[in-house]
Structure 1
Amino acid sequence: MGRGRAKAKQTKVARDLKYRTHETDFGALAKELHGEPDDVDPVDPVEEPDEWSGYAPDRSRD
């Protein structure tokens, strides 16, 4: 008992998703899926040294 109400709600939601018109921005979706940034900041960020860079061997003298 009680399953009828839950099933009716699921059916209502499924029909709403199936028949409702959607305004899909496929360009934004493609950018999100490919990992491209939305807006590129024109100011170059200041590069901070890596916290582990002091432990790496210095290869510039090779």
Structure 2
Amino acid sequence: MGRGRAKAKQQKVARRLKYSAGGTDLDRLRAELGVVDEDASDDAPEEENVGPYDDLVERYADFAETDTSGTEEERSDSAR
């Protein structure tokens, strides 16, 4: 029976978000999401530009498929 009050509160919050003037702090959002400025990344040393999976790429590079012969269709036919 208490669903009406909860639904009304959700609608109130949704309306406030929909019709608010914004006021979004984009710099804070970028920091929270971890977005790096392109200008800053150019000046950074290479060691800081390492991706989270680079160590796995190096580790399993030997297992990567290196067959570049034939077309994509020929490769898919041979895989069947």
TM-score by length of 2: 0.36
TM-score by length of 1: 0.43
